Structure 1
Amino acid sequence: MKGFVHEDEKLLIREMSVPVPKGTEVVVSLKTAGLNRRDLYIPNRRKGKKEPLILGSDGAGIVEQVGDEVDHFQPGDEVIINPALRWEANSDAPPQGFDILGMPDHGTFAEKIAIDAAQLEDKPQHLSWEEAGVLALSGLTGYRALVTKGQIKKGETIFITGAGSGVSTFIISFAKNMGAKVIVTSRSEKKLQQAKALGADITLSNDVNWTEALADETVDLVIDSVGRATFQRSLEVLRKGGRMVVFGATTEDMIHLNLREFFYGQYQLLGSTMGSREELRAMLNHIVQYNVHPIVDSTFSLSNIQKAFDHLEENKQFGKIAINLT
């Protein structure tokens, strides 16, 4: 079978062994996969590794074979893959042994994958294959940041930096469904218009003074994934005693924080990453209940996957990028 791998400092498509299910494993014939920013960073994290690793964390497809200890799934079932490995119940932080699919385990940028049946969920029937293939990682990350960590409530106001990311598009939809007011930012006027169409109540350019623009607003929750470039500006729009959730740092990791202002403001700062199987299932129930459709920016074939990587690295996308594997 064909797979997109990182091997000996190179990214390439190559023939890989067809997987065979063991015991509790299932072989899924993948229809689509989702590209995540994590996939851009893995080659740098694997410097010096010569053995091939299939990249990719998100995916959806059809069960092809099941191991002799599997009783919940059978050939023909349509499924999505949970990329959060070995994290079952909701907890304050991931348990020991937690990993994300796609490193060190083989991922989803291939025609087939063998994976433990515990990592599979039924594909929501209202989703296309492209939508199902990009759902799990970003949807789960956004749901945990917004609901589990952010504790969003009906009538509250949420401020989200980086309107065009896959996670942000999920958060906008989830928050609106839960009755929150949504404010988003971007340096792209086009992405702000797209966020408005998705349901954002207020859109702000990165070039304006956010504090002045929101002088008449009360922001209860900030969700930031940009890092140093926006952290302090985001904190300044948050009400005293408000909550700030950070799930990423696409700019520099290190920030400057005035501790005296922080503790006098009684702010709550929370870290978040991915989520448990319990939260994934809650997120899936939400998207079925509210008929949520993931925003798919574009779809690339496996043979053109490098163009998908380039598109994501240039930060041109609004929503998710899908990879067609059939």
Structure 2
Amino acid sequence: MKAIVLQNIEAPLNIEETPIPEIGPDEALVELRAAGMNKRDWWIWKGQYAGLKFPVIPGSDGSGIVKAVGRELPESWTGQEVLIYPATDWGDSEAFQGKNFKILGLPENGCYAQFVKVKGDMLYPKPDHLDFIQAAAFPVAGLTAYRALFIRGAWKEGDKVLVSGVGGGAGTFALQFAVAAGAEVWVTSGSEEKIKRARELGAAGGINYKEKDWSEKLLKEAGSFDVIIDSALGDGFAALITLAASGARVVFFGGTAGNIPAINGRPVFWKQISILGTTMGSPRDFEQMLSFIKDRQVRPVIDEVFPLDQAQEAMTRMNTGGSKFGKMVLTIGS
């Protein structure tokens, strides 16, 4: 089969011929039609991710058609259009992932290939309203956003939401999910164009965090927020505490701008604010997300689509955060 095999740190993302995976009794072989791209893939390529091993086929997000199943799986899966849950061994607790939790694409080979083998419990029917490209955009970023908003953030009707740094895959999904649920949603960004795009997706408004005293201006215009979703941390995180309402949940799933800065703890305990970390989500979260996007007919925002043999160009595009909005997807096969 044709696959992008990463041979070493920053090695060229060229297509290679490699054997089709052999499946075990509890595994399925999926012929992929599309693979979503995540910043995780970039960090692996740059050699800045834990547990590196080479060679490896990257890619955690995949959609396609089941071509074969092991003897322990129902034969009825064969021929079905599926979306892949992007991890294995979440563990017994819904509160956190277990020590054996692994994300597809490292250490196990992932979805930048014509075929991938996965455990049977990673297969989910592709939502009918999505094509393969749209479906492949959801797994990692969509699941991360869903858990941040609804599970860790415990959004409920009437809660006002702030998405900090909108434009990336998970941040855009957080905006879309909150709007679909009926929330009043505001955003921040360093780009006026991204704020405009967010408004077009249903945001009530937004503010450029490059402005002086941006948090005070946002507080005056929009008021405080019950759920705040962040993926950057860094110096701007302290301002989110100012914007948090009493009883608010501030949820973060990344640290691209650095660590949590020194913050004034007094409003945190006085307003009983919860600061919560989150990572991806459990199979139950994934099932709930799929049900939500089917019920609300949510479709992803796709920034750009590349064929598999242009994975290097796509990786470069993915790192140009200034203009990118939404998800990058690779097309595979017919």
What TM-score, normalized to structure 2? 0.93
SS at match of 1:40: helix
- Identity level (%): 35
Instruction: Verify: 1:238 aligned to 2:244, yes or no.
Output: yes
Corresponding letter in the other structure for 1:181: E
SS at match of 2:165: coil
Q: 1:322 is matched with which residue?
A: 329
> Which of 77, 82, 85 does residue 74 from structure 1 map onto?
77
Contact 2:53/2:106 (<8 A) preserved? no
- Describe the shift of the 1:193–1:41 C-alpha distance in structure 2 as closer, same or farther (beyond 3 A): same
Corresponding letter in the other structure for 2:219: L
CA distance in 2, matches of 1:47, 1:285: 32
Instruction: Verify: 1:17 aligned to 2:23, yes or no.
Output: no
How many Å apart are 1:90 and its aligned residue? Answer: 6.0
- 1:89-238 matches, within 5 Å, as 91-208=94-211, 209-216=214-221, 217-238=223-244
Which structure 1 residue ranges, 4+ long, deviate > 6 Å from structure 2? 46-50
CA distance in 1, matches of 2:259, 2:17: 37
Instruction: Verify: 1:6 aligned to 2:11, yes or no.
Output: no
CA distance in 2, matches of 1:269, 1:157: 16
- Describe the shift of the 1:115–1:258 C-alpha distance in structure 2 as closer, same or farther (beyond 3 A): same
- 1:43-62 matches, within 5 Å, as 43=45, 44-45=47-48, 51-62=54-65
- Describe the shift of the 1:52–1:151 C-alpha distance in structure 2 as closer, same or farther (beyond 3 A): same
Q: 1:287 is matched with which residue?
A: 293
SS at match of 2:25: coil
> Which of 55, 71, 89 does residue 86 from structure 1 map onto?
89
- Describe the shift of the 1:253–1:218 C-alpha distance in structure 2 as closer, same or farther (beyond 3 A): closer
Structure 1 alignment gaps of length 5 or more: none
- Describe the shift of the 1:146–1:238 C-alpha distance in structure 2 as closer, same or farther (beyond 3 A): same
Q: 2:36 is matched with which residue?
A: 34
- 1:233-272 matches, within 5 Å, as 233-272=239-278
CA distance in 2, matches of 1:195, 1:49: 35
How many Å apart are 1:168 and its aligned residue? Answer: 1.5
**Count of aligned pairs:** 326
CA distance in 1, matches of 2:49, 2:206: 38
SS at match of 2:5: strand
Contact 1:139/1:170 (<8 A) preserved? yes
- Which is further off, 168-177 or 254-263? 254-263
CA distance in 1, matches of 2:163, 2:130: 25
Contact 1:158/1:222 (<8 A) preserved? yes
CA distance in 1, matches of 2:250, 2:53: 40
How many Å apart are 1:264 and its aligned residue? Answer: 3.1
CA distance in 1, matches of 2:194, 2:149: 21
How many Å apart are 1:204 and its aligned residue? Answer: 1.0
What TM-score, normalized to structure 1? 0.95
